[in-house]
Amino acid sequence: MLSYRHAFHAGNHADVLKHYVLGLVLAYMKQKDKPYWYIDTHAGAGLYQLKDGYASQNAEFEQGIAKLMAAEQLAPALADFVALIKRFNHGELDFYPGSPLLAQALLRADDKMRLFELHPSDHALLTANFNGQAKQVQIAQQDGFAGIKACLPPPPRRAVALIDPPYEDKQDYQRVVTLVKDSLKRFASGTYLIWYPILQRSEPGQMIQELMDLHAPNWLHVSLSIHAPNTDGYGMHGSGLFILNPPWTLAKDLAATLPSLCQLLALDDSAHFTLDHEMA
């Protein structure tokens, strides 16, 4: 399915949670001198213009990253995230970086990126955004569900993989579980971040339960809902991440900042977050 364009949703509450957590994970990976790979299964276009084109139609960023940009006295970790977004802007909030460009901003010279994007238009934009950086970045117009297999295990035996399909196709939920099972067989010590939407349907919960049933020794599950479910039963009212082999510091970092993040992004009194983890 090639209809999905992330530009419609760039910078929304789900992007804020996903990219904030990703930033914490990548910052932790830099604490060791040994290089690592960053793998993105559904990379998107890489950079999104917020006040023109797709993103401006629903302006979802106004209920997401714009709220953090306007906030005062943020916790240090959230302030670092906002500072990272500001690096892609000059004063006003005009652009929002997707996960590939955010990751690149945090990678070191010896770290490598492997990016997959199947949509031809987004693949072309992604390639243009990384023009002239072939030594560090390899971009493939390929389904990341299949492409990631060739990346595991990576030569440095260290990797962070972001798995965030659009889930427009219901089969994506099962594809994620199958991918995670296969990835753990190929590279059990990798860090895998699985993003998912919170919807009024059964598939997201079933996927998380199946991931829990893998009985991995180290995992973290975080979710954030910003408003009550819509009365018509449609729409995403939150999102979450299930992380295998997370940094041991991640739970503490999130516990300290999720209350304020939830308060900033809340649209009604039902807004809430969850945080569960298990470390061997």
Element (H, E) at 86: helix 76-86
What is the Cα–Cα distance from 174 to 180, expressed in whole angstroms? 10
Structural domain includes residue 260: yes
Parallel/antiparallel/unpaired status of strands 238-244 and 191-198: antiparallel
Asked if 122 is an active-site residue, the reply is: no
Given a contact cutoff of 8 angstroms between Cβ atoms, the answer to whether 159 and 38 are in contact is yes
Instruction: Give the CATH number of the domain where residue 164 resides.
Output: 3.40.50.150
In a domain, 1, yes or no: no
Average pLDDT, the chain: 93
User: Residues 164, 182, 232, 276: which is the catalytic one?
Assistant: 164
User: What is the C-alpha to C-alpha distance for residues 195 and 51, in angstroms, rounded to an integer?
Assistant: 26
Does some domain include residue 229? Answer: yes
How high is the pLDDT of residue 2? Answer: 42
- The answer to whether residue 64 is domain-embedded is yes
Q: Is residue 174 part of a domain?
A: yes
One-letter amino acid at 2 equals L
Question: Per mean pLDDT, which range of 7-21, 91-105, 122-136, 242-256 is the poorest?
Answer: 122-136
Interval 17-36 mean pLDDT = 97
Q: Which residue has the higher pLDDT, 58 or 167?
A: 167
Cβ atoms of 221 and 242 closer than 8 Å: yes
Residue 196 domain-assigned? yes
Tell me whether residue 129 is in a domain. Answer: yes
Q: Say if 10 falls within a structural domain.
A: yes
Q: What is the mean pLDDT of residues 130-147?
A: 89
- Which residues lie below 8 Å from residue 232, measured CB to CB, with a gap of 6+? none
Could you give the angle at which helices 76-86 and 13-29 cross, rounded to 10 degrees?
100
**Structural domain total, the chain:** 1
pTM above 0.75, yes or no: yes
The range of the structural domain enclosing residue 269 comes to 6-278
